Amino acid sequence: MGLTDLRSRCACGFRSVRLRFIMVVSMMSGIHELGVTAAMRTRFEFDLHTTATPEQVVEVLTDFSSNRPKRWPALSAKLYRVHRVGDTDADVQEGQDFPKFYAIWHYDWSTPGTVTMTVTDSDYAASGGIHSIVATAGHDGGSDVHGIWDITAKNTSANIGVAVMRVAGARFFRVYYRRVLDGVATGTR
């Protein structure tokens, strides 16, 4: 499919996000075929409002019980492993089944209302990448949540996933976190 075909499809109803996704995947496939292995870094921020309190936000983010995969539906129960849990930090392996990948995250919640996750090992992300969530009291008793995602791909195949996050990550996290956090507030998660 050429660029002209993509433009005509876009004019006929493709959303610009889909067009960008197709172009990124096409570009990454071409880079992979050329043997280029440059790591791609993606950083974005997102904001959402939830009916969960800041305490509930931190609680669900730091619940490392066997119930965690049920509370976080994108999390693979097969890849979930708790290595260590301290008073305000933990080392946890998490991943998903499709596409299959994992990361070992160092969780730190020593700052009230904040949970920072740092990649320590992964099959797709370079060590040192972060995902941070800050929850502050909202005007209605819920929380205003601010998130940061700053991850660098570890290898060429991971570049595709990181590129997808560059295009759709902020929207994905807004929808996913709101669903999980609102479920915590209503007692369904």
pLDDT band for 3, please (50, 70, 90 cuts).
very low
Give the domain ranges of the chain: 1-36, 39-186
What pTM does this model have?
Answer: 0.78
Judge: domain 39-186, CATH 1.20.120.420: no
Residue 30 has pLDDT above 70, yes or no: no
Q: How far apart are the first and last CA of the chain?
A: 43
pLDDT, one tens digit per residue, over 96-147 is 998 889 999 999 999 999 999 999 999 999 999 999 999 999 998 899 999 9
73 phi/psi in degrees, rounded to 5: -65, -20
d(CA 87, CA 84): 10
d(CA 114, CA 129): 16
Classify strands 41-50 and 114-122 as parallel, antiparallel or unpaired.
Answer: unpaired
